[in-house]
Amino acid sequence: MRGLRPVRVVGIGMHRYQFASETPFPAIGLAALRAALDDAGLAWPAVTSACIGTATLGMAAGRVMLRHMGSTGLEVTQVENASASGSSAFRLACLQVASGQHEVVLALGVDKHGGAQRAAERDGLPRLSPAADLPLVQFALLARAWRESHGVTLADMARVAVKNHGNAARNPFAQFRKPRTLEQVLASAPVAGDLTALQCCPRGEGAAAVIVASEDSIARFGLERRRAIRVLSSHASSDHSGAETAFGVVETVRRSGAATLAAAGIGPQDLDIVELHDAFSIEEIIYAEALGLCPPGAGPARLRDGSWEIGGGRCAVNPSGGLIGMGHPLGPTGIGQVAEIVRQLRGEAEGRQQPGARTALAHMIGLGFVAVGHVLQRENAA
């Protein structure tokens, strides 16, 4: 965002992530949208562009949903980028404000379970393994390799799930609301390799909305500046050659994280909160190390000593409950990360507040792999 206009998040709204239901997606998405407008203190006509992150709904989900708010003629763009769909929609919204194209922009993620198709299954190329493009198998293989090469234990992996289920239990928007013990995580059904069921994110449905605004619009609409959270950086990338497997995603995350933090002018030591892609428990350990939250190989120790717990150390990792606990409905996930961070940086995360949180990173990966990172910062006292 360097060299562009400042962008701030002025409104957040969620529809709880949940298992598949008969509820139509507009009801889910509009609940999040109306909550975000209320949170910001804005009327719908102030929003002149909407970036809709969805991976399962099909064409034109934005218009199908937003016409129920009244057709104001706003720009509507649908963004699909696998697990990073919401993050990419948020990035587009930020860039639209930063570039001066718009003053107030909505980023909204909404999805229902069951409609996702992987383009990799339609590229006309055969695979040696029918599971070659299945994230569950890719990350189970990565987990096994990491265990063998880095000494990560089954209990280390399970501690990620214990922490994140515990955080989710305190998050009213989370799909899972039940704390789990180490024994429960380890004893849950084996799924693939060393991953048990409670170490895998649930799929489901939900919605997350955030509204970003320019300096001028915050003044013009009389928005509450104290609650506006600055977006310091936005960065997106994809794999480099040779990194297209889950084994290569580690380098992709390392580069993406470094670039996102550098663009914000900060280092990993400045982060009070990180929300990251923990679809499978091993990912949190690997990515937290790749993002520089600890020296390589020190992740398990951080989990054991509680450093990544809320209030337990320097940086809370996935205080929302992460994908494992909060859920991973795809389109909403990345925007839900931002909503959680904004809530935390405002000091409004009741029951799961990271004390004194000022600076946070939202980081997502998506199939392929793509990576999207954002740094957000509170500019004044909470």
Residues at the interface with another protein (CB under 8 A)? 124-132, 134, 136-138, 140-145, 148-149, 189-194, 241-242, 244-245, 247
CB neighbour class for 273 (10 Å; exposed up to 12, middle 13-18, buried from 19):
buried
Minimum Å gap between C-beta 126 and another protein is 5
Closer CB to another protein, residue 133 or residue 270?
133
Closer CB to another protein, residue 59 or residue 189?
189
Biggest CA–CA distance in the chain, Å, is 59
User: How far is the C-alpha of 83 from the C-alpha of 87, rounded, in Å?
Assistant: 8
Minimum Å gap between C-beta 140 and another protein is 5
Minimum Å gap between C-beta 124 and another protein is 6
Closer CB to another protein, residue 73 or residue 242?
242
> Which H or E run contains 36?
helix 25-40
Closer CB to another protein, residue 73 or residue 124?
124
What are the residues whose beta carbons fall under 8 Å from the beta carbon of 52, sequence distance 6 or more?
61, 62, 65, 76, 77, 78, 79, 89, 108, 109, 110, 331
Minimum Å gap between C-beta 184 and another protein is 18
Closer CB to another protein, residue 190 or residue 265?
190
What are the residues whose beta carbons fall under 8 Å from the beta carbon of 73, sequence distance 6 or more?
none
Minimum Å gap between C-beta 143 and another protein is 8
Question: Can you spell out the DSSP letters for 209-247?
Answer: EEEEEEHHHHHHTT--GGG-EEEEEEEEEEPPTT--STT
Dihedral sign (CA 352, 106, 327, 300)? negative
Q: How many CA atoms lie within 13 A of 272 on its CB side?
A: 18
Minimum Å gap between C-beta 98 and another protein is 31
Closer CB to another protein, residue 68 or residue 127?
127
